[in-house]
Amino acid sequence: MNIRRVPFDHSDAVKLNDEVQAEYHLRYGDGGDATVLNASDFEPPRGVYLIAYDTTGRPVATGGWRSQDANEEGNLDGDAELKRMFVVEAMRGRGLARRILTALEDDARAAGRLRMVLETGTKQPEAIALYTSSGYEPCGKFGYYRHYEDSRCFAKTLR
């Protein structure tokens, strides 16, 4: 497996983002994640976007983080917000999400971020299991979905 930094608007990132949005639609029955994301959100040193490629060069997993500081949506100074964690169905159960998560945490830590935060939903129990088994704990709600009952927010100290 080869994990590479790519721009958020890279063609492989767009392809995987379309797949994750389709997955959200299946699970939640809406149009997908409506959180506004810009390619510039994931430009180092204020963020990064990663794609894992299999041995044939096919993109199979993705994830990114973007800097957040204290704002009206509930973030705190020094936050690194995890976004678009996704593994294609055929490659699930092989530890790819955990590898991407670790790489993102290391990168955010190196960039001086203080904690990694994420929002997920109750219809993604495997995501919740990954995060809690990786040391994430429930935290105050933040972000676009902070007022939604099915939203769950987690945080992990990076220092």
pLDDT digits (tens, 9 = 90+) for 28-70: 987 778 888 999 999 999 999 999 999 999 999 999 999 999 9
Assign 157 a pLDDT band (cuts: 50, 70, 90).
very high
What does pLDDT average to over the chain?
A: 95
Question: How far apart (Å, rounded) are the C-alpha atoms in residues 117 and 76?
Answer: 10
Q: For position 138, which CATH number holds? A: 3.40.630.30
Domain count of the chain?
1
Question: How far apart (Å, rounded) are the C-alpha atoms in residues 102 and 9?
Answer: 22
pLDDT digits (tens, 9 = 90+) for 130-142: 999 999 999 999 9
Q: Which domain holds residue 110?
A: 2-157
